[in-house]
Structure 1
Amino acid sequence: MKKVSLILSFMFLMVVLFGCQQNKDDQVDNTPSTTGSLETKAEVTEGEFVYRLVTEKAEYRENEPVKVYAELEYIGNQEEITIAHAASPFHFPMVETTRNYEIFYSMDQPSIATKLIKGEPLHQEYRAGGGYGSQDKKEYIEFMKHIMNQEFPKGHYVVNGFADFAVIANEGTKQKKNFTIKAQVEFRVNKSGE
């Protein structure tokens, strides 16, 4: 009976420790950097493509334009390749970690073809995102109105950017290979006098 009790106690302890570890890992992505420098540039290579996500500065002032952009570069063996995507292959969802507000980035979903020439990155700058509903809290609505006007309030922002596109892998069958390449950068916005 002692062995069974000991085994059950050990299993319970493992479950509790595993649960704590899961919660810690889930929070890593959007935790503000309080020490050291902010990650302002990210580059990810997947297959024959390089995705870059960049914020031009680590710190901005309120009402200063925030400059974030993404690039997709083809580095394969062909001179050019055609990709299919929504209105843009680039998505710029964000989280403002001080308030824990998600800033969604929506776009039209047509199927557009874009030709990528080897060594010439496709470049796009961030445009306003965000949105709100009538049931949202007043503070959230005011915050989103500023974001939608590209007037970022004071806070710490994490851009969870990604490039989402497809390449025709087999011309005969028109079979597509889908790509979703993710990267993350961050920046702070301070009050004008700080």
Structure 2
Amino acid sequence: MYKIGFLVSLIVLYLCLVSCQQKVDRKVDTEPSDTKPLDTKAQAIEEDFVYRLVTEKAEYGKNEPIKIYAELEYTGEKDEIEIFHSASPFSFPMVETTRNFEIGYGMDTPLLSTKLRKGEPLRAEYWGSGGYTSEDKKEYVDFISQIMNQEFPEGRYIVNGSADFYVKANEKTEQKKNYNLKLQVEFKVNNTN
């Protein structure tokens, strides 16, 4: 009899602990994510380069243009330095977190070079992105079609920006020094405005 009572007590204790744990989990899951402020500016420094990623607003209204830009600044000892990159050293892929949709950022990949003057940032603005295939679901195709027309649907967006380039570390041997700086900024689109 003692063994049965002890076993029942253990089961009741276990159920109470599991029940308490589930209540805690539910409370965390239902906590609104809108309480966290959005990061609209970010900066990374690597050696002689400063990379900045900015969205001009934390929240945009319906049909309002999305203003995002990236900057790369050279801060080294020389007056200028030549960097080598694709069509642009900057890319702006995104994730829309409400629907968990990825928004790709395609770019031509010729090898181009740009001279950066010390203290004068190179700046590029986001101009649009996205793409889909015939195998993608209609909901995704409709969403990306809006993005491609620069009509962002209501939601929360994370920009996974990068500056990808290289410099010649040694002119004689043409040895390369690669840089791939990554930053994130966030914004929301609220279609009720």
User: TM-score w.r.t. structure 2 length?
Assistant: 0.82
C-alpha deviation, 1:132, in angstroms: 0.5
Q: Which residue matches 1:150? A: 150
Specify the alignment match of 2:51 in structure 1: 51
CA distance in 2, matches of 1:116, 1:140: 39
Amino acid aligned to 2:180: T
Distance 2:174 2:85 in 1: 15
The separation in 2 between residues aligned to 1:34 and 1:44, in whole angstroms, is 26
Once the two structures are TM-superposed, the CA of residue 62 in structure 1 deviates from its matched residue by 2.0
Q: Does residue 119 of the first structure (1) align with residue 119 of the second (2)?
A: yes
What letter is aligned with 2:49?
F
Alignment: residue pair count: 162
Q: Where does 1:18-167 land on structure 2 (aligned, <5 Å)?
A: 33-167=33-167
Deviation at 1:191, TM superposition (A): 0.9
State the SS of the aligned residue for 2:152.
coil
Q: Residues of 2 paired with 1:139 and 1:126: CA distance? A: 24
> Which amino acid is the alignment partner of residue 82 of structure 1?
E
**4+ residue runs of structure 1 moved beyond 3 angstroms?**
none
Residue by residue over 1:157-193, the C-alpha shift from the partner in whole angstroms, topping out at 9 and shown as x without a partner, is 0000000000000000111100000110000000134
Identity across aligned pairs (percent)?
65
Structure 1 position 33, deviation (Å): 4.7
Q: Aligned partners of 1:120 and 1:82: how far apart in 2?
A: 13
Q: Which amino acid aligns with 1:98?
A: T
* Alignment partner, residue 184 of structure 1: 184
Residue ranges of structure 1 left out of the alignment (5+ in a row): 1-31
CA distance in 2, matches of 1:176, 1:133: 36
- Change in Cα spacing, 1:49 to 1:33, as seen in structure 2 (3 Å) is farther
Give the letter for the 1:92 counterpart.
F
User: Considering only aligned residues, what root-mean-square deviation do their CA atoms show, in Å?
Assistant: 1.1
* Aligned-partner SS, 1:141: helix
Equivalent residue number for residue 7 of structure 1:
none
SS at match of 1:84: strand
Q: Say which one has the larger Rg.
A: 2
Structure 2 runs not aligned, ≥5 long: 1-31
Is 1:170 matched up with 2:170? yes
Q: Give the distance between the partners of 1:47 and 1:33, measured in 2 at CA.
A: 35
Residue by residue over 1:9-50, the C-alpha shift from the partner in whole angstroms, topping out at 9 and shown as x without a partner, is xxxxxxxxxxxxxxxxxxxxxxx9532321000010011000
